[in-house]
Structure 1
Amino acid sequence: MTGPAHRYTVISADCHAGADLPDYKPYLGKRWHDEFDAWAATYVNPYEDLLADTADRNWNSGRRLAELEADGIVAEVVYPNTIPPFFPSASLMAPVPGSAELERRWAGLRAHNRWLADFCAAAPGRRAGVAQILLNDVEQAAAEVRWARANGLSGGVLLPGVPPGSGIPELYSQAYDPLWAVCAELDVPVNHHGGSASPQLGDEPAARAVFMVETTWFSHRALWHLTFGGAFRRHPGLRLVLTEQGSGWIPGVLEMLDYYHGRLVAAAGRTATAEAKFGAGLAAAMGARPSEVWHDNCYVGASFMRPHEVPLRSRIGQDKIMWGSDYPHDEGTHPYSREGLRIAFAGLPPQEVAAMVGGNAARVYGFDLALLDPIAARVGPTVEEIAEPLTEIPAEATSPAFAPEGRVRVW
């Protein structure tokens, strides 16, 4: 949407936040306090950005609002960033816990969710917090989704990755139906963020390179697991958002999935063929073709969208794309989000830009534009500003949004 002063109402569909580690303690049940003190005393944070003097961007509400407004952004979807209690690393990347760790990890995630509810309440209508769950116990996960919805976390739920060998059912399993049912019933978006679902590869140079090559692919798997698994047929109101995984890959992957769907469904009717067993029951189980499922149920959090992704917007679905700044990460567009918007969207019809930079996110996450438009009229980028092509990249910009065209490809 454009605000009343011909400014865009910009909602970042991908930002990150979390508490400073000691500040999680009050959100833990008292039975965990002594154990938390012992754990926190020996925990060594492995992330430089969470040790820097700018780390408070994750939890300093006033600083965060001021910096986002200076960047032209009036509201945000808030994914996790800091280390929850009892986790070995950021929760997006942490391995699936075994039975010995499960209760502690649940306590840590619940502490984060309760901190996040208070953090979002400090800026009413401007933060859609994404609740965290574990998949080891589906009933517990569904109960936490109910708690999150009832306590103002409007960003939906973060779907953990299920790497191969994790010991829990794959995402296509009907074991997760109680969770999908609650999300559909309460209109809770299911978010799957890039970086999740990769197997543990170690820390050798080759392992780090392989991680970079494979990490987005492992994140993409949630799309075809839920689609072929029939989750959207059994729960038509279920919505899946794939965030910070790029968007340029989507048209090609949908074509590939449609190809396999058609091939396997056709083969199922020819029992004498070798492929017949692979397509048996597929049509009845999943219903529509994958591309139809995408357009009915799925969205993309297209963080720091690159210029070469924009021409694909009609194939992706202009009503599916939600721009994000990835604040406060180094790869995010802050403090050059206005320039990031220009390099991606200059020359496009304003109504298309308005949808991708804010209108779609408002619809998916329930932001109230009547509340946000007046703020955008004060701080949002003007339509004329974003229409002006960016001719000079800011010297200190670190986001891939500003990589020279042709050097970055989103798979």
Structure 2
Amino acid sequence: MDRYPVISADCHAGADLLDYRDYLDPRYREEFDGWAETYVNPFADLTDPDAERNWNSDRRNGELDREGIAGEVIYPNTVPPFFPHGSLAAPPPQTPRELELRWAGLRAHNRWLADFCSLSPDRRAGVGQILLGDLDEAVAEVAHIAKLGLRGGMLLPGVVPGTGIPPLYAEHWEPLWAACEEAGVVVNHHGGSAGPSPTDGWDSSFAVWVYETHWWAHRALWHLILSGALDRHPDLTVVFTEQGAGWIPATLTSLDVATVRYGRPNSAIARFAGPTAGSLTLKPSEYWNRQCYVGASFLRPVECAERHDIGVDRIMWGSDYPHLEGTAPYTREALRHTFSDVPTDEVAAMVGGTAAAVYGFDLEALAPLVDRIGPTVAEVAETLPAVPADASSTAFEADPIRAW
């Protein structure tokens, strides 16, 4: 192998707001016109000229070519119809009508995304969206996501406490897990969507939110394990994206210890924990190794050093294009920064091979593109002498413990 087939397991895209109109069910279009006329987008990066990177297919491919990225898993980014802001962290709808309209908006996004992926079918795997306010609708949309050919799978929203939606460990969600397993739809859980919004007005609100946001997303791992969902559905694949990677080894060790205690006969803790966790057929770390992956944006060197404890075959590197904290325009430098001293076979797995297997990328079909744009093995193996002075990506952050 001369060049690495690089597949970013974490990119973002979406339509320009008014372009969603034709993808809406016709009965919602007139209401959309009125809503869109007064809507003010709160995100500066979605109102400047570079926002077109979300929907301009040719520009997007050109920029990814320069970065050496042959394939991408596409999460949402722009604002869908009838949402107050981006769907990942939007507050829950307050009325049945609001829920209905948001469903219409997400379905429009999923249809748009299928068309967008069809423009470059070999290099794009779109992640469809659902809502959790109506289980039957969610199950139906999983089938629709599969029918649309969105091989990136389904984006599982987080459940914010106090919203009245059952937590992810509730038996309520059993039909959803079964539907995803049966359809072969990957379940993706992205950081930033599971915790309370920083809207209480205190000066420290956003700092606390930034610190806690990954932890809220991590909870889905132990919810799905301790509820027995992964035990009952061994063919269900779950990916935890853009929420770090260094947390995984300690969390798996903690879960392994906990479930041993829960299964010990006659122990007091087992009586408190209840029967489900104590009856698991595998250790939590074994469920991880069988069914779970991390979409590791951006896998800093300090996290890469833990790759064997995480599982080299569980890690999928991500660039987070087109976000400010993403690796562009220094993706090639970011790859050198993290992987220069890592064996070639391990690099190949983490930067593309595993993502190709999880999301169904055809590496043979991508080979001509990789031959043209892919980073060479020699290039990635060359130590980066210095971080680019204007690099804004957290991929280049130093080991925070040593810095402290």
Superposed pair shares fold, TM > 0.5: yes
TM-score bin, normalised by smaller chain? over 0.9
- Are positions 1:159 and 2:156 aligned together? yes
Matched residue type, 1:32: Y
- Are positions 1:73 and 2:38 aligned together? no
Instruction: Please give the alpha-carbon distance, in whole angstroms, between the structure 2 residues aligned to 1:284 and 1:236.
Output: 18
- Are positions 1:240 and 2:234 aligned together? no
Aligned with 1:104 (options 90, 101, 106) = 101
Aligned with 1:295 (options 289, 308, 332) = 289
Displacement after TM superposition at 1:200 (Å): 2.6
Conserved 8 A contact 1:264-1:279: yes
TM-score norm. by structure 1 comes to: 0.95
Matched residue type, 1:69: D
Conserved 8 A contact 1:270-1:276: yes
Instruction: Please give the alpha-carbon distance, in whole angstroms, between the structure 1 residues aligned to 2:181 and 2:208.
Output: 36
The aligned length equals 401
Conserved 8 A contact 1:232-1:286: no
Matches within 5 A, 1:107-122: 107-122=104-119
Displacement after TM superposition at 1:283 (Å): 4.4
Corresponding residue for 1:94? 90
- Are positions 1:315 and 2:309 aligned together? yes
Corresponding residue for 1:262? 260
Instruction: Please give the alpha-carbon distance, in whole angstroms, between the structure 1 residues aligned to 2:321 and 2:24.
Output: 27
Cα 1:348–1:276 change in 2 (3 A) is closer
Conserved 8 A contact 1:229-1:286: no
- Are positions 1:173 and 2:140 aligned together? no
Displacement after TM superposition at 1:407 (Å): 5.8
Conserved 8 A contact 1:85-1:108: yes
Conserved 8 A contact 1:96-1:162: no
Conserved 8 A contact 1:198-1:218: yes
Conserved 8 A contact 2:260-2:278: no
Tell me the SS of whatever aligns to 1:79: strand
Conserved 8 A contact 2:227-2:277: no
Tell me the SS of whatever aligns to 1:386: helix
Cα 1:183–1:408 change in 2 (3 A) is farther
Instruction: Identify which range, 286-295 or 308-317, moves more after superposition.
Output: 286-295
Instruction: Identify which range, 280-289 or 214-223, moves more after superposition.
Output: 280-289
Conserved 8 A contact 1:18-1:82: yes
Matches within 5 A, 1:329-348: 329-348=323-342
Conserved 8 A contact 2:9-2:73: yes
Corresponding residue for 1:34? 30
Give deviations 1:267-315, integer Å, cap 9, x for gaps: xx216x3x24223313465432111111111000001110100111011
- Are positions 1:360 and 2:347 aligned together? no
Corresponding residue for 1:47? 43
Instruction: Identify which range, 318-327 or 135-144, moves more after superposition.
Output: 135-144
Give deviations 1:39-91, integer Å, cap 9, x for gaps: 11111111010011100000000000000010000110000000000001110
Instruction: Please give the alpha-carbon distance, in whole angstroms, between the structure 2 residues aligned to 1:105 and 1:311.
Output: 42
- Are positions 1:63 and 2:55 aligned together? no
Corresponding residue for 1:128? 125
Corresponding residue for 1:373? 367
Displacement after TM superposition at 1:143 (Å): 1.3
Corresponding residue for 1:150? 147
TM-score norm. by structure 2 comes to: 0.97
Instruction: Please give the alpha-carbon distance, in whole angstroms, between the structure 1 residues aligned to 2:335 and 2:174.
Output: 38
Conserved 8 A contact 2:198-2:209: yes
Percent identity reads: 57
Aligned with 2:247 (options 246, 249, 259) = 249
Corresponding residue for 2:209? 211
Mark the runs of 5 or more structure 2 residues left unpaired by the alignment.
none
Matched residue type, 1:28: L
Matched residue type, 1:115: W
Instruction: Please give the alpha-carbon distance, in whole angstroms, between the structure 1 residues aligned to 2:93 and 2:175.
Output: 21
Structure 1 ranges of 4+ moved more than 4 A: none
Give deviations 1:198-250, integer Å, cap 9, x for gaps: 11331432111110111000010000001101111111111110000010110
Conserved 8 A contact 1:138-1:179: yes
Instruction: Please give the alpha-carbon distance, in whole angstroms, between the structure 2 residues aligned to 1:177 and 1:316.
Output: 27
Conserved 8 A contact 2:226-2:277: no
Conserved 8 A contact 1:229-1:285: no
RMSD (Å) for aligned C-alpha atoms: 1.4
